[in-house]
Structure 1
Amino acid sequence: MSTSIPLNVLDLASRPAGGTNADAVAGTIRLAQAAEALGYQRFWVAEHHGMPAIASSAPAVLIAGVAAATERIRVGSGGVMLPNHAPLVVAEQFGTLRALYGDRIDLGIGRAPGTDGATAMALRRSPEGLGVDDFPQQLLDLFGFFYGMTDANPLHSITAVPGRGDAPQIWLLGSSGFSAQVAAALGLPFAFAHHFAGDNTEAALDLYRSRFEPSDLLSEPHTMIAVNVVSDEDPETVRALSLPGQLSFLRMRRGLKPEPVSIEEALAHEFTPLEEEFIATRNARQAIGTPDEVKARLDSLLASMRADELMISSGAATVEGRIHSLEIAAGLHAAREPVVGA
C-alpha cells in the first residue's frame, strides 16, 4: 500500500446505550470534525431504516448537517438506497446539497433496502418497487436528471431544479458481483462493503476491473473498500469497545432490531461457542486490535484487494472510541511503508 492512498470514514450515526437520537447525530458531527482535523478525505453516512440503534435514516439531511459543521472534507452518502427513493427526488436533494456546499458532495448509491421487507414496503409504497430488476434504469434516470436525458426516455421533459448541471461525484456501492458488474458497465467508481460482507471482496473487485467500460465520468477502474476498524493500545479496551457491535450484529442476523447494547451488557453476555466462532471468523477479515495488529491487517487487506481508497467504518461502542480508532489509523497511514506488490 502506498502512503498516498486516500483515507475516508463511513458512519451510521449510532445511538449510544441510554442515549437519544440527538446524541447519535451529535456524535456523527464530532466524528466528522475529528476526521477532517486528521486529514481524512471523505466522510460518508449510511442509510438504514427502522433500527433503534442507528439514526442515519435520512442521508441527505445528515449530510447537510455534517457539511455545515466542517470546512474541507468531502461529505456524502454511503449510501442512498436508490430503490427507496424516486430518482428525481435524489437529484433534487443532492443538487441542493451541491448548491449549498459546492464540490464537496459525494453521492454513493446502493440497491439494498437498508431495512426489513415491511419497512421497505412503507418506503416504496408498492410491491412492484421491492424488486431490483429496474435498478439499472433507475440509475440511468438519475443520471439523466443530472446530465440530461435522451428523447427516448419518457421522463425527458422533466427538469430537476436543483439537479440538472449540479451533479455530485457519483459512486456505486455494493456487496456482490451484481453491483460490481453494474458499476463496470456504467463506468462508475465502485465501493465494496467489506465491513459487513467480507467473503467476496476480491472476486467482486476483480469482476469490476475486468468488465470496466470507460465513461465520460471515469476513464479507468477506481475502487474503495470499507473496513471495520476498532483499535486501542490496550487489548482489553479493544474487546470492550468492539463487543457491543458484535452482539448487535448477532441479534440482527436472527431478525431482531436490537436497542443499543452497552459495554457492560456485552461484557456480561455469555457467547455460545458458535457465536464466538462467528465473531472470530468475521473479525479475521477486519482490522480490530492493537495498533500493530490493525497495521498488519490493513496492509494485508489492501495488498490483496489493490483498492485505490480505504474507508474506515469503526464499530467502536463510543464516540471517543471511534475517534481514537481514526487517530490510530491516520497515524499508521502516515507512517506506513509501501507494501511490495501493492
Structure 2
Amino acid sequence: MPRIPLNVLDLASRPHGASNADAVAGSIRLAQAAERLGYDRFWVAEHHGMPGIASSAPAVLIAGIAGATTRIRVGSGGVMLPNHAPLVVAEQFGTLRALYGDRIDLGIGRAPGTDGATAMALRRSAEGLGVEDFPQQLFDLFGFFYGTMSENNPLHSITAVPGLGDAPQVWLLGSSGYSAQVAAALGLPFTFAHHFAGENTEAALDLYRDKFQPSEQLDAPHSMIAVNVIADADPAVVRAESLPGLLSFLRMRQGQKPQPVSIEEALAYEFSPVEEEFIAARNARQAVGSPEHVAERLESLLKSTGVDELMIASAAATPDARIRSLQIVADILA
C-alpha cells in the first residue's frame, strides 16, 4: 500500500482499576510511541461524564502531550464547538499555538460529546442544544482567528489575544452528510468518524468532494477517516483486548455510564445472540484481528474511501495493546 499520513485518535481511556492520572499518562505514552513510529498527528477527543474517559478538556491535555513530544502534530479530534464560546476556543488554541507553533491542530465537531443534561450544564442554558447555531459559531471562531468578523456581528469589536493571527490548522469532524456539506461549503479539510459510523463513510466523503468550494485555507478537498484498530497475531489477545470496550459500548447504548470493564469480566460475560450480532456488525468495517486481516481491511478502506490521511482509533483495553496496534499499522503502511 502507498504511504499516506498516519495519525492517532485517543480518548485518554482509563483501564479497569486505574486512575485518571494513569489514563492521562497513558495518552502521553501513546503519543510518544506514535512519534517514534513516524505518525504525523495525535488528536484527543472531547467527552464528558464518562467514567472510563479522561479527555474532557482537550486544550489542557493537548498542552501536556505537546510538551512531552517534539515533532508530532497535536490537536483535538475534536473540540465540540457548541459546548464552548468561540472566543474561549480561539484564546485556548491561540495560546497553544504561541507555545508550540505550527504543531497544533483544531478539529471541530458539533455533537455534545455527552448526554443532554451534561451538555446543558456545559452551556449553562438549554439554548443552543440543536445544530442551527453551529455555522454561525464557526464564522465567529474564524472571525476571531482571521479578523474577518462582519461589522454587523455584535462581536466584531472583540479581539482574541492570543488568537488573532494565531490560527491552528482547522479541520471539521463529522459522522453525517450534514457535517460533510458544512466542511465542503467552508473549504475545510474533513474527517469522518468511520470508527463509530462506518455505514455512511463513502457517501459522506462523496458528498464532501462533490460540494467542495475552495477557500483561503484549502484549494481542493482533503479528507481523513478514523478507524478502530486492534491488532495482534494471537486471536485470544485480540478478543481479550476488544471485548471490554464492546461491553462498555453495549451498556452505554442501554443508557448506562459504565465504569471501565476488566478483561476478566468481559471474557466471563455471556453475550446474547443479538449482542454477538451487534459486535460482528460493529467490527465488520473496522480493522480488528490479525496483522494480515488488519492489512486487508485498511487496504480495502483506503481504496473505497480515497482518503488523503488515515487516523487510528484503537479501542484496545490496555495501553500496551494500543501501542502494539500502532506498531503493526506502521509496519503495514511503511
Shift of 1:284: 0.5
Aligned match of 1:175? 175
Aligned match of 2:203? 203
Counterparts of 2:140 and 2:288 in 1: how far apart (Å)? 40
Q: How does 1:1-342 map to 2 (within 5 A)?
A: 1-3=1-3, 5-148=4-147, 149-334=149-334
Q: What CA deviation, in whole Å up to 9, does each residue of 1:226-249 have, x standing for no partner?
A: 000000111110110011011111
What amino acid does structure 2 have at the position aligned with 1:212?
Answer: F
Counterparts of 2:187 and 2:27 in 1: how far apart (Å)? 31
Q: What CA deviation, in whole Å up to 9, does each residue of 1:37-60 have, x standing for no partner?
A: 000000000000000000000000
Q: What CA deviation, in whole Å up to 9, does each residue of 1:105-146 have, x standing for no partner?
A: 000000000000100010011111211101000000000000
Shift of 1:154: 1.6
**Structure 2, unpaired ranges of 5+:** none
Counterparts of 2:118 and 2:156 in 1: how far apart (Å)? 31
Counterparts of 1:75 and 1:139 in 2: how far apart (Å)? 21
Q: What CA deviation, in whole Å up to 9, does each residue of 1:203-240 have, x standing for no partner?
A: 00000000000000000000000000000111110110
Q: Secondary structure at the match of 2:71?
A: coil
Q: Secondary structure at the match of 2:154?
A: coil
Counterparts of 1:46 and 1:170 in 2: how far apart (Å)? 15
Shift of 1:150: 2.4
What amino acid does structure 1 have at the position aligned with 2:73?
Answer: R
What is the number of equivalent residue pairs in this alignment?
A: 333
Counterparts of 1:115 and 1:71 in 2: how far apart (Å)? 32
Counterparts of 2:112 and 2:14 in 1: how far apart (Å)? 20
Q: Secondary structure at the match of 2:213?
A: coil
Q: Secondary structure at the match of 1:152?
A: coil
Shift of 1:152: 2.2
**Structure 1, unpaired ranges of 5+:** 335-342
More moved, 243-252 vs 87-96: 243-252
Q: What CA deviation, in whole Å up to 9, does each residue of 1:143-197 have, x standing for no partner?
A: 0000012212221100000000000000000000000000000000000000011
What amino acid does structure 1 have at the position aligned with 2:278?
Answer: F
What amino acid does structure 2 have at the position aligned with 1:35?
Answer: A
Q: What CA deviation, in whole Å up to 9, does each residue of 1:71-130 have, x standing for no partner?
A: 000000000000000000000000000000000000000000000010001001111121
Counterparts of 1:279 and 1:302 in 2: how far apart (Å)? 23
> What TM-score comes out, normalization by structure 1 length?
0.97
Q: Secondary structure at the match of 1:225?
A: strand
Counterparts of 1:127 and 1:233 in 2: how far apart (Å)? 49
> What TM-score comes out, normalization by structure 2 length?
0.99
What amino acid does structure 1 have at the position aligned with 2:302?
Answer: L
Counterparts of 1:62 and 1:253 in 2: how far apart (Å)? 27
Shift of 1:2: 2.0
